[in-house]
Amino acid sequence: MLEQLLKRHSQPAGPSSKTAWLTGAAGSENSGETCPEYLEAVLSPSKLRSMATVLMCRRFPRLSRVTAFSTTAKRKAEHGSSKSKKEKHDKPGAANTGTESGATIQLLKPQDYRVLYNPAAYAKGRAGSQQRVDRDSSQALSDTFTGPGTTQAPHTFPPASSQALPPIRNALPKPKSNTLLEQTILATLYKEEAEKEKWEVHNSKEDPRMFQKGRPEYRSLSCDSAEPAQTLPAEEGESILQSVAGCEGSPGILTDYFHKLSRLPAERRAALVSDPRFSALCHHAVTAIRLFSTPDLIQILKACVPLAVPASHPLLDACEAEFCRRAWDMGLEQLLLVADCWRCLERSVPSYLGILFSYANLHWKDLTLPQFVQLLYIIGEGRRSPADLAQKVESTILKHLDAFTLEELGAICLGLFKSLSGLSDHVMRRIADRVSLQMEDMSTYALVNVLKMLRYTRVDHVPLMRELGKVIPARIPTTNIQGIMHIALTCSSLHFFNEDILAAVATSLPSKVSYCRSKDAAKFLWSFGCLDYEPPNAEEFYSSLIKQLHMKLREFSKFPEHLLTALLGLAFVKRFPEELIDFALREEFVQKTRGSKYELNKDLFTLGKSVEIECPTYQGSRLPPQLCQEFTEVVLSFAEREIYVRPEIVEATSLLESMLGGPEYVKSHMILPHTRSSDLEVRLATDGCPIPFNFKDPVAAKKLKDMGVNLTDDLISQLVKGRAHSQSPVEVGNEASIARQERGDAAGTPCLGGALTAGATSQAEPKAGCWQPQEVRLALQVSNRNHFCYGSKRLLGLHCLKRRQLRLLGYVVVEIPFWEWFPLLKRTRSEKLSYLHYKVFCPALLTRAG
């Protein structure tokens, strides 16, 4: 059919040639009938796209040779030498594509399409400055998958080709034909190209090397991956390759050859790696590797960057070995430049970096400010944190703090964050002090990097967070999806509730949700659930994210922590997507969680038991009882060591025993172990008389009493004046999941999670039929400040979930909030007893319960 159409279309122009090929009039007796192939093509999008491809190649022959239009895996292999040097570093295991080449135009938008040329995803704030080519993005491949256990490098536009080629709507000559089919085809083409441009805006990555534009000194420390100002004619490159066979291997000549070849046009460079003559040139260089001077060897390595020499190439093997041998005879400037070249070449060089860090340690006093920032950039990209440099890094940050540009501060924070390097509270606060005063002048990308480190160090810097609430909402619509995710995650991690920020995120997200990785969707849901916030567009917001979870379901088999994070965030706000929950509680998925580098057991049990309590009609998979019992015991064991002995709980328990008549009238335990915090249970008859019920294990009860601590003035002062950002052992237990998942910290803390089982008599949730008639059960909540949003009385999502489930089970929840109870710890015994008496025997509670 398509051949017939093209045949008609290629006929000589005639009086009716503009319409004849559509109606079949040219050379046909059915001149008044519409071509059936045309109707089929219009009604079938797939046929329309294929026709568009052929038509465009026929009408515009140059397009069949334009490399930038190809986004298929075959084309990626052909142009792999000009692809971005940054993406693979974030995913070292990314599979290499094959070597088969093709020359096709793919009009369908690939699912994992990434554009690396236009990195203006993070707007510059007031300045709105033009961003540079994103050829060094360090996170571009963090979550690109094709299925469980597999990876696939994204299809990208080669930067050089992208730079040379304008957008298609400008590159294509305006067609002269007014035929309906041509207009339809071109409209489809333009529409899909517009969709690709939209993808560029929201899914591109910011350039982590922007800080290098702020000072000329970085030119000697970094490898400039931009296109050469003056390219070498292809004919001269061909002449060089022809002369390789007769080359005697002179180091100077070889260096000159590599330098000149690196200046060839991008499309010519792309074919060099597979050229046998170029392989011969590389072989000559390897043979003469020790004859090169250090500057010449650096020039060869720099030339390998635009030439896109594969990371595993023998030439690079020889260069690495030679640079490691010469490192101690090189200068710090040369060492940093070579390290930057390795970064651009996506080659992992742990031995070389180890030598670099040791050299820097010995010559630390000689480090200039740009060298220090570049070193931290290399540390971050290498994901290595030299322990012996930690103290020197902090002192140098303080020394140059006022001299750093805002972009350099962002680069420093990103390097420390990527390498999991800690910062003292003091240094982090000093950085935050400066950022809070100049936030409007800071690019969003640099600001997000500071927020990452603020989150990692758990520093509660109120001025910065308040200024963030003023500056960032207006920038969110022009920020890419990963940047928005980090903003929301910082708020939830620091328990900082700002409705302006969250509302702006919720408003912007639905239109961008298709660009969310599984990780992004999970973190959005966790952040909003953790802060217990339902935005004005809650239904649109949550439905779009749940839909995205379904689309990313295959990824969760490899990254199960993301699904559990998402489902817990949904559970906090009373949303339970049963299909996803059924998937998460299946035996095979549970086994995958046990093999994860994260501790996911407590998250599984919090989810499983929450579903059991809040979803009585749920018919899907459930956790095995033996697993529930196992981790219930783990969490209760931890509670006895760390939670029940906290001073505020011990004091409340002791006073209640005295007030009610003995230890049998009050029980300090976890009514719902899967919620990871304790309760003081009291039972009353409807007439207000306490009912004894705690007769089990008196020995353990006495042991618990003996574990109490003395309430000294210092201890009470710490409780009253304690900092919100410092975490007690129980807070670590309650919040460890988010801290580890946010930071990627595999070490974490001991497993605290648990769940209820039918056989757990003393700790299982009570059944309605077991309660005594005319009985009121109180669940007293002795809370601390880490159960609430920062500086407010707004409960966090997990603690909202706990109270909701206690009420569903028939308990009357009684709050003993820290802002009332902690100050009373300093007061007289009679004042504390009076307060607790009011809380327990409040007539309103008994009336409501009755």
| pLDDT reading at 447 higher than 70 | yes
Q: How confident is the model at residue 575 (pLDDT cuts 50, 70, 90)?
A: very high
Higher pLDDT, 707 or 205: 205
Is pLDDT larger for residue 25 or for residue 314?
314
Calculate mean pLDDT across residues 520-527: 97
Q: What's the whole-number mean pLDDT along residues 99-125?
A: 37
pLDDT bracket for residue 201 (50, 70, 90): very low
pLDDT at residue 83 tops 80: no
pLDDT at 790: 94
SS (H, E, C) 645-697: CCHHHHHHHHHHHHHHCCHHHEEEECCCHHHCCCEEEEEEECCCCECCCCCCC
Greater pLDDT, 243 or 186 = 243
pLDDT tens-digit map of 321-369: 999 999 999 999 999 999 999 999 999 999 999 999 999 999 999 999 9
pLDDT for the residue 233? 84
CA distances, 88 to each of 116, 345, 748 (Å): 12, 10, 28
pLDDT-derived band at 209 (thresholds 50, 70, 90) equals confident
pLDDT at 393: 94
- Pick 564 or 738 by higher pLDDT: 564
pLDDT above 70 as % of the chain: 64
Which SS3 state, helix, strand or coil, does residue 125 take? coil
In angstroms, the Cα distances linking 394 to 58, 352, 376, 399, 450 are 63, 24, 11, 9, 15
Note the pLDDT of residue 240: 85
* pLDDT for res 718: 54
Q: In angstroms, rounded to a whole number, what is the distance separating the alpha carbons of residues 9 and 759?
A: 78
> Looking at residue 225, what is its pLDDT?
67
- pLDDT digits 0-9 by tens, 9-42: 444 444 333 333 333 333 333 444 444 444 444 4
Check residue 229 and give its pLDDT. 59
Predicted pLDDT at 384: 80
Q: Which residues pair with 145 in a beta bridge?
A: 151
Q: State the pLDDT at residue 128.
A: 35
- Helix/strand/coil for 716: helix
pLDDT at 149: 37
pLDDT of res. 206: 61
pLDDT for residue 776 is more than 80: yes
What distance separates the 2 farthest-apart alpha carbons in the chain?
108
**What local confidence, expressed as pLDDT, does residue 771 receive?**
60
Nearest Cα neighbor of 11 from 20, 41, 40 is: 20
- Spell out the residues 6+ positions from residue 324 whose beta carbon is closer than 8 angstroms to its own: 351, 352, 355
Taking the C-alpha atoms of residue 813 and residue 102, their distance in angstroms, rounded to an integer, is: 68
Of 125-134, 345-354, 677-686, 819-828, give the lowest mean pLDDT range.
125-134
Look at residue 103 in the predicted model and tell me its pLDDT.
Answer: 38
- With both helix axes pointing from N to C terminus, report the angle between 180-203 and 36-43 in degrees, rounded to the nearest 10: 20
Mean pLDDT in residue range 721-744: 38
Average model confidence (pLDDT) across the chain: 75
Phi, psi of 147 (to 5 degrees): 175, 175
Q: What is the rounded distance in angstroms from the CA atom of residue 805 to the CA atom of residue 792?
A: 23
Reported as a single tens digit per residue, the pLDDT across 598-651 is 888 889 999 999 999 999 999 999 999 988 898 899 889 888 888 899 999 999
If you average pLDDT over residues 818-829, what whole number do you get? Answer: 94
User: Is residue 472 predicted with pLDDT exceeding 80?
Assistant: yes
pLDDT band at 700 (very low <50, low <70, confident <90, very high): very low
Residue type, 835: Y
User: Residue 714 class from Cβ within 10 Å (0-12 exposed, 13-18 middle, 19+ buried)?
Assistant: exposed
346 dihedral zone (left: phi>0; alpha: psi -120 to 50; beta): left
Q: Is the pLDDT of residue 565 over 70?
A: yes
Nearest to 382 by CA among 334, 330, 347: 347
Residue 827 has pLDDT above 70, yes or no: yes
Reported as half-sphere exposure (CB side, CA atoms, 13 A), residue 63 has a value of 21
What is the reported pLDDT for 518?
A: 94
Q: Which residue has the higher pLDDT, 719 or 564?
A: 564
The least confident of 189-193, 203-207, 653-657, 737-741 is 737-741
pLDDT of residue 839: 94
- CA terminus-to-terminus distance, the chain: 79
pLDDT reported for residue 717: 56
- Beta bridge partners, 680, equal 668, 780
Q: What is the pLDDT of residue 773?
A: 63
CB count in 10 Å sphere of residue 539: 10
Q: Is the pLDDT of residue 45 over 60?
A: no
pLDDT of residue 228: 61
Backbone φ and ψ for 779, nearest 5 degrees, come out as: -115, 95
In the predicted model, what is the mean pLDDT of residues 299-322?
93
As a whole number of angstroms, the distance between CA 78 and CA 823 comes to 71
Cβ neighbour number for residue 399 with a 10 Å cutoff:
11
pLDDT score, position 311: 92
Quote the pLDDT of residue 729: 35
Angle at 289 between CA 277 and CA 296, to 5 degrees: 90
The set of long-range contacts for 161-169, using a CB threshold of 8 Å and a minimum separation of 24, is 161/66, 161/67, 161/68, 161/79, 161/82, 161/266, 161/267, 162/68, 162/115, 162/117, 163/117, 163/133, 163/227, 163/266, 164/68, 164/266, 165/66, 165/68, 167/193, 167/197, 168/69, 168/193, 169/193, 169/194
Please state, in angstroms and rounded to a whole number, the distance separating the CA atoms of residues 356 and 351.
9
Asked if residue 203 lies in contact with residue 157, where contact means CB atoms within 8 angstroms, the answer is no
* CB neighbour list of residue 325: distance below 8 Å, 6 or more residues apart: none
pLDDT in tens, 132-168: 333 333 333 333 333 333 333 333 333 333 333 333 3
> Whole-angstrom Cα distance, residue 321 to residue 181?
61
The dihedral through the CA atoms of 479, 480, 485, 490 has a sign that is negative
- Give pLDDT, residue 695: 86
Asked if residue 555 has pLDDT above 60, the reply is yes
564: which 2 tokens? 């559990």
Q: What's the pLDDT score for residue 217?
A: 93
pLDDT of residue 825: 93
Once rounded to an integer, what is the mean pLDDT over residues 679-702?
79
